[in-house]
A and B are shown apart, each in its own frame.
Chain A
Amino acid sequence: MIELVGVSKRYGSFTALHEVDLEIERGEFIAILGPSGCGKTTLLKLLAGFMGPTDGFIVMDDSTVASAKRVTPPEKRNIGMVFQSFALWPHMTIAEHVEFPLNHHQNRKKESKQEVQARIGEVLKLVGLDSFSERYPSELSGGQKQRVALARAIAPRPNLMLMDEPFSALDVELRMEMRKEIQKLHRETGASIVFVTHDQSEALAIADRIVVMNKGRIEQIASPEMIYTRPETEFVATFVGKCNLVKGQWQDGNFIPKINPRCLWSDMGVAKAFKKNGIYPVRPEQLQLSMVALNGVHGRVTFVQYQGHEIHYTVEILGETWTVHESVYSPRFYVGDEVTVGLKKAVRPEKVLVSN
C-alpha cells in the first residue's frame, strides 16, 4: 500500500502541489487525470523519487520513502516506470533492456543465468516481442518500442508501476490496442499502477479509480462511473463530462432553470456543492432536441457537427451556449433551426447506477 500524506511541492514562489493526500491499495489501477500543468507529473516524480516533497511524506510498504528531509532515491524503491518518450537505450538490444533491471533492481534474486534468460523470455512473450529479442530500438516501430518499455518496467516484478502519459507518442489506433495491453498486464502482474494522462476517455477506460487534478490540487477521487456521472466540482464536471453548467434554483430536490422557470428538472444525483450554488451540471448526452414545444427551453441551433455515431449540436439560448449530443437516429436539425431543449428521461434514474 502507498500513502501520500499532506504532500506539497514548491518551486520558489510557485506551488506545484498543494497538500495532496492519496492512498493507493495494493494491485489498484489509478489514473491521474488533469490538464497540462496541473501537477500530475510532479506527483509522479515524487512517487518515483526523482525529487522530494517540500512538505508531507510518502509511505510505501510501511516505510517512509520521502519526507522534506530525506528521500529514498528511485533505485532503492520497489518500482518500475514507463516513460512518455519510451526512454529506450539505443545501444542495447531488446533482451538487454529486459535483462538490465533483472540485474540491478532491488527485487532481483540470486538467479542462475538460465533463470534470468527464462524470465526475459517470459516477459517478452507477455508483451508479444519474443521474436524481436536481438533487435535494437532503432529497428522497432512506435508500438513495439512502447512494449519494450513496458517489458523493462514489469520484468523485476515491482510493487508499483508508474506510467507517464505512455501513449501520447502513439497514434489513435495503437492507443486503443495498448489500453487493452496494459489492462492485461495489470491483471497478470498484480502490481499497483499509477497512470498519468490528460485524456479523459483513456482514464475512464482503464482505471479502477481516477484522481482528477487541477492547479496542483486534487479535485475528486472516485471510480470512473462516479467521476463521470457524479462530478463534485465544476472543474470535474466540465473537464471529464463536458457538462453544461445550467444556472437556476434548487427547490425540494428539483431544479428550476433560470432561463425558463416553467421547467422542472428532477435530480439525477447532483452533488451538494452544485445545489448550494444553484447549478445543474448537464452532460451533452443528457439533453435532447425537439421541434418547438410549449414546455421546455427554446433556442437556436448555431453549429452542427456530424460525428458518425452521434451529432453534436451547439444551441444558443438567450445568450448562453449549450452543447447537445444526439443520436443519429433522432430527428435531424440544421443550423438556424428553432428548437426546444429538454432533459432526457433516464430509463432508470442514474442514482441507482452507483450506490452513493
Chain B
Amino acid sequence: MIIKQQMDEERRKGLPPFSLFFQNKNIYKGLGLLAVFLLFLLPVLRLVWLSFVDEGSLTFDYYTEILKEQATWSTVQNTMVIVLGSTVLALVLGVAFSYIVAYVHIRGKRAMQLFIFLPFIIPSYITTLAWTQFFGGSGPVSALLALLPGNLQAPNLYSTGGIILLLGLSHYPLVYLFTVNVFRKIPRDLEEAAATSGLSKKQAFRKVVLPLALPGIASGGLIAFLSNLDNFGIPAFLGTPSNIRVLSTYIYEQVVGFGPQAFSRAAVLSVMLGVIALFGTLLQWFLLRRSRVTETVRGDMNPRIFLKPVRQAFLESVLWIFLLVTSLMPLVAMGALSLISAYGVPFTLENLSLKNYEYVFFTDMKPLAALSNSLQLAIVTMVICLVLGTILAYLRFKFPEWSTKTAELFITIPYALPGTVFALCMIFMWMEPVPGWNPGIYGTALILFIAYATRFMVLQIRGSYTAFLQIDPSMDEAARTSGARALARWRKVLLPLLFPGILSGALLVFLMALTELTVSSLLWSSGTETVGVVIFGYEQAGYSTYSTAFSTVLVLGILLGGLLFMVLGKLWDRKVLKTK
C-alpha cells in the first residue's frame, strides 16, 4: 500500500499535468505583457487621454482652441518645411555616400566611414554649437570672407536654412547606414545580367539597381524624417533666438511656460506630433518588411566601379574636403574659440586664455555636478537596459510568437516618439502613477532614471537580439551533443560569442543617455541637471564661450571613449574571436 502511494506520488512529480503547465506558461506570458504595457505603453495612452480631458469630463476644447490659433499653423508649416527640407538633404548626402562607398573603388573607405559616423556620436546640439562658432563673427569662415574683395557675410545659421542644413548634416549618417548594405547586397550578377541583355550602365542603374535599393532608401529616408521631426537641440539652439518654432520646441515652450493649461495644450500638440511620428514608423516598418527578401544575401564588399586614376583622386579629394569641413572643422573651430577670453573679440594670441575653462570647472559648480549626474544616469541606465534588455531579447529570440512581438512593439514606442512628447508622457505617468497618489517621483532624479530606461531599452534589445540571431543554432547544438548542460553552454560557448553584440548595444545606450538633451530638458529639476541641460542653459543665457568650453571637453571625452572602444573591439576580435 505504502509503496503504491509512493509510486503514485513519484509519478505526479515526474509528469506534471500538461494542461497545468500550459496554464502557468500563459500566466507568465500575461503578467510579462501586462508589465510591459504598464511601463511602456500606458504613459502614452495617458497623454492622449489628458488631451481630451478637462476637469474630469471629455472635451475637444483644447483641440479646437489650438487648431484655431494662427501660431499653431505657422508652427506646423515651419515643421513641415524644415523636416522635409532636411530629409531631402539627408537623403541626397546619405545615398550619394553609400553608393560611392559601396560601389566605387576609392582609397581610405574605413577612415571615411569613421568621419561619416562622427555626427552620430557627437550630440547634435554640440554640433550646432560648433557650427555657430564656425560661421560666427570670430570664426574662420568670416575671417576667410573678410580677406576676399566685396562685403561678403557668412550665412546666417539662425534661420530656416540653417536649421535644415544642420538637421540634414546630423542625420545623413542614418540614411548612409541604412542604404550602404542595401547597395552591397544587390548581387553583382544582376547588373551583369542587365549588361549582357544590352543595357548601358546608366540604364542598368535605373532599371535594376535603383528599384532594388528603393525600399532601403525609402526606409532610410523615413528614419531621417523621424529623427528630424524628433530633434529638439538644433531648432532650440538655432530657432529660438530667431523666433522660428517647430512642434518639438513649441511643446517645450508650452510646458516651461507654465500657463494654466500648459500641460493640456502641450498634450494636444504632442498628440499631433506623435501621430505624424507614429505614421512614419508604421510606414517604415511596412517598407522594411517588404525589403526582407534581400536580407539573407551576404553583402558584397568589393568595389564594382573603377575610375581612371585622375578621376578617382578628384572624387577622393572632394569627399575628404566635404567630410573634413562638415564634421571636423566646426569642432576644431569650437575648440579654438573656447580659448578666447570674451565673446566677439578677435582670435589673436593675446586674447587666448583658459579663463572659460576655469569658470566652467572651478567657479560655476553646475557643469561638474551635471557631468556626474549624466554619468550616473548613463551607467545606471546602461546596466538596467543591459540586464533587462538582454533577457527580453533572449525571450524574443527563443519564443518568436505574438506575445514577444507585441512586447517588442510596446517597447519600441517610447523610442519612436519624439523626445518632447515622450518626456510629457513620463510626467503624466509618474507624477501620479495611480491617479490620486503622488509619490514624488516627478521633480527628483528618479524620473530621469525611469525615463531613460524606458526610452533606451529598445536599443539594447535590438543589439542583443541581433547578437542572438548571428549565432548559428548549431553552435549551441554542438555543445549539447558534447554533453554540456545549460550553465556550461552559456559560460563557455554562447556568452563569448554574444559579448561583442551585447556590448555595442550597451555602449549605444550609455552614449545616448550621457548626452541626452530633449527628455532631460523637460524632466530636470534643481540639482538633477544633465550635461545637455547645462549647455542649453548657458546657450539660452548667452554664455556661448562657457558652453563651447564645456562642449569641447565633452567632445574630447567622447572621442577618447570611442577610440578606446575601437581599440578594445579590435583586440577582442583578435584575441577571442581570432578573426583576421
Residues in A lying within 8 Å of B, measured CB to CB: 48-50, 69-70, 73-77, 79-81, 83-85, 87-91, 100-101, 104-108, 136-139, 149, 152-153, 156, 162
Contact = CB atoms under 8 A, between A and B. Distances in A.
Given A69-B15, A91-B497, A136 B481 contact: no
10 contacts: A76-B483, A80-B481, A85-B474, A87-B472, A90-B578, A104-B482, A104-B483, A106-B483, A107-B483, A138-B579
Interface in B491-514: 492-493, 496-497
A22 to B, nearest CB: 20
Given A107-B483, A108-B483, 11 more contacts: A74-B480, A83-B477, A90-B579, A91-B578, A100-B484, A101-B482, A104-B482, A104-B488, A138-B580, A152-B482, A162-B481
Nearest to B478: A87
A85 B472 contact: yes
- Give the 6 A-B CB pairs with smallest separation, nearest first: A105-B483, A87-B474, A101-B482, A81-B481, A87-B478, A136-B578
B475 interface: yes
B578 A138 contact: yes
Contacts of A152: 478, 482
Contacts of B484: 75, 100, 104
B10 to A, nearest CB: 13
Given A104-B482, A106-B483, A83 B474 contact: yes
B48 interface: no
Contacts of B477: 48, 50, 74, 81, 83, 87
Contacts of A105: 482-483
B480 A75 contact: yes
Interface in B531-580: 576-580
A106 B481 CA distance: 10
Contacts of A138: 578-580
A206 B332 CA distance: 71
B576 A100 contact: no
Nearest to B489: A75
Contact of B577 (A90, A107, A156): A90
Contacts of B480: 49-50, 73-75
Contacts of A108: 483
B479 interface: yes
A186 B14 CA distance: 37
B202 interface: no
A41 to B, nearest CB: 12
Nearest to A48: B481
A108 B474 CA distance: 22
Nearest to A85: B474
A162 B15 CA distance: 29
Interface string B451-487: 0000000000000000000001011011111111100
A73 B472 CA distance: 19
Contacts of B481: 48, 74-75, 77, 79-81, 153, 162
Contacts of B478: 81, 83, 87-89, 149, 152
A79 B481 CA distance: 6
Nearest to B486: A75
A75 B578 contact: no
A324 to B, nearest CB: 37
Contacts of B580: 138
Contacts of A88: 478
Contacts of B493: 89
Contacts of A136: 578
Nearest to B576: A91
A101 B483 contact: yes
Nearest to B480: A74
A345 to B, nearest CB: 51
Nearest to A162: B481
Contacts of B18: 69
Contacts of A162: 481
Contacts of B492: 100
Contacts of A85: 472, 474
A91 B483 contact: no
Most buried by A among B481, B577, B578, B580: B481
Nearest to A105: B483
Given A50-B477, A69-B15, A83-B477, A91 B577 contact: yes
A277 B578 CA distance: 61
Contacts of A75: 480-485
Nearest to B484: A104
B296 to A, nearest CB: 15
A89 B15 CA distance: 36
A76 to B, nearest CB: 8
A185 B579 CA distance: 31
Nearest to B580: A138
B53 to A, nearest CB: 47
Contact of A104 (B14, B485, B497): B485
B573 to A, nearest CB: 10
Contacts of A77: 481
B478 to A, nearest CB: 4
A105 B483 CA distance: 4
Most buried by A among B478, B484, B496, B497: B478
A69 B11 CA distance: 12
B572 to A, nearest CB: 10
B143 to A, nearest CB: 53
B497 A90 contact: yes
B15 A70 contact: yes
A91 B475 contact: no
A30 B546 CA distance: 79
A90 B574 CA distance: 11
A37 to B, nearest CB: 19
Nearest to B15: A69
A91 B496 contact: yes
